[in-house]
Amino acid sequence: MDTRLLRTFLALARTGSFTAAAAELHLAQSTVTVQIRALEKELGTRLFDRLPRGASLTAAGRRLIEEAEAVLDAESRLRAAVAAEGPPAGRVVVGAGETLCSARLPGVIAALRRSHPGIEVDLAPVGTAAAVEGLRTGRLDIALLLEEDVSFPDIAAEPLAHEPLVLLCAPGHPFARRPAPVTWEDLAGETFFLHEQGCSYSDRLAHRLLSLPGAHLRLTRFGSIEAARSCVAAGLGLTLLPRATAEDALREGRLAAVAGPPFPDVPVQVARHRRRWVSPAAQAVVAELARHFPARTAAS
């Protein structure tokens, strides 16, 4: 069986759209249609119901997903075995949140180009839910999650590092010049610009603030860290971010760190699908990742 047909099948199963599958695979839509028909003919069963708005898996199609993934995984193992004597090479898709994509991963990619020029890294900016789904569907090879705990039965995760957090305000904000640390009660009346829901450290802060007696804060959530950072730099309120995303602004005086309640460092976890093989190229990426994160301190 031509494994290209299985790749096309899985892409269509993921997207539910012939157009989207074609875009993902860099094929013409007509090619996707022909390949799906060829696979259905070879297997002797319909895998998709064609609908006006896309394609829906049949019962046979749903049963095929896990087996197709296993075949493609075996193919990857065979290719790696043939190339075992050479340096790691191949494409590795890494999913990570905006924090890590902007602050940590560019350095990792630059280092890999020097040490492993045969490895191509693609970044996919995703939150935790999308990262887990990407690992399950095979769209992602590995993912970096800013989470205390990763509790999914089919996802394996290992701690990689910890990212320090910092409470930020504009240099002209009263908290920037305050001699004594601010308290939770002080923060309960402020305006906050936080990263979107699903961001673990932002969610914890929002929950703590909203649970304070008499809290009358204003809380805005953004899908972009840059948007939150810009609002704070303009003097509109406060935010909590990994220090790595604010180092330049702190150094240049566009933002100021607020002395206040301690915030625990947020863990960075490397996640993968338990049943899928981790290629030598992906293993090399994980090894390089470990060299580009700050070591965990005793106080973390």
Q: What is the CATH number of the domain that holds 56?
A: 1.10.10.10
Q: Is 251 part of a structural domain of the chain?
A: yes
At 261-274, the pLDDT tens digits run 999 998 999 999 98
| pLDDT reading at 222 higher than 80 | yes
Task: Compute the mean pLDDT over every residue in the chain, rounded to the nearest whole number.
Answer: 88
Are 194 and 151 part of one and the same domain?
no
Q: Kindly report the CATH number assigned to the domain that includes residue 147.
A: 3.40.190.10
Q: Distance (Å, rounded) from C-alpha 86 to C-alpha 97?
A: 32
- Give the model's pLDDT for residue 298: 39
Give a yes or no: residue 295 inside a domain.
Answer: no
Domain boundary among 51, 66, 82: 82
The reply to whether 110 and 170 lie within a common domain is no
Same domain, residue pair 116 and 98: yes
Chosen domain end from 22, 51, 82: 82
Euclidean distance between CA atoms 231 and 178, whole angstroms: 21
Instruction: Say if residue 85's pLDDT is above 90.
Output: no
Question: Do 149 and 226 belong to one domain?
Answer: no
Q: Is residue 297 part of a domain?
A: no
Is residue 48 situated within a structural domain? yes
Question: Is-contact 192 229, C-beta < 8 A?
Answer: no
Task: Identify whether residues 144 and 284 lie together within a single domain.
Answer: yes
Domain contains 176:
yes
Asked, for residue 200, whether it belongs to a domain, the answer is: yes
Domain end point (choices 82, 103, 126):
82
* pLDDT value of residue 98: 79
Q: Which range marks the domain in which residue 31 is found? A: 3-82
Residue-wise pLDDT for 117-132, tens only, equals 999 999 888 888 889 8
Listed range (39-48, 71-80, 140-149, 233-242) with the worst mean pLDDT: 71-80
Q: How far separated are the first and last CA of the chain, in Å rounded? A: 52
Q: What is the pLDDT of residue 225?
A: 85
Whether the pLDDT of residue 81 is over 70: the answer is no
Provide the domain count of the chain: 3
- CB neighbours (10 Å) of residue 97? 26
Query: 88 or 176: which carries more pLDDT confidence?
Result: 176
- Note whether 136 and 154 are same-domain residues: yes
In sequence order, what are the residues at sequence separation of 6 or more whose Cβ sits closer than 8 angstroms to the Cβ of residue 227? 193
In a 3-state reduction of DSSP, which class is residue 18?
Answer: helix
Where b means 16+ CB within 10 Å and e means fewer, 174-190 reads ebeeeeeebeeebbbeb
Do 191 and 142 share a structural domain? no
Give 279 or 18, the one with higher predicted confidence: 18
Q: Is 298 inside any structural domain?
A: no
The pLDDT, as a whole number, for residue 237 is 95
Asked whether residue 297 carries a pLDDT value surpassing 70, the answer given is no
Q: Are residues 229 and 203 in the same domain?
A: yes
Indicate if 113 and 171 belong to the same structural domain: no
Claim to verify: residue 200 and residue 148 sit in the same structural domain: no
Higher pLDDT: 85 or 87? It is 87
Q: For Cα atoms 275, 268, 92, give the angle at the middle one, nearest 5 degrees.
A: 50
Residues 241 and 274 in one domain: no
Mean pLDDT of 80-85: 62
Domain membership flag for residue 139:
yes
Question: Which of 152 and 84 is assigned the larger pLDDT?
Answer: 152
- Decide: helix, strand or coil at residue 30: helix
Residue 82: what pLDDT?
A: 63
271 and 159 co-located in one domain: yes
Task: Please compute the mean of the pLDDT values over residues 98-105 and round it to a whole number.
Answer: 82
Beta bridge partners of 170: none
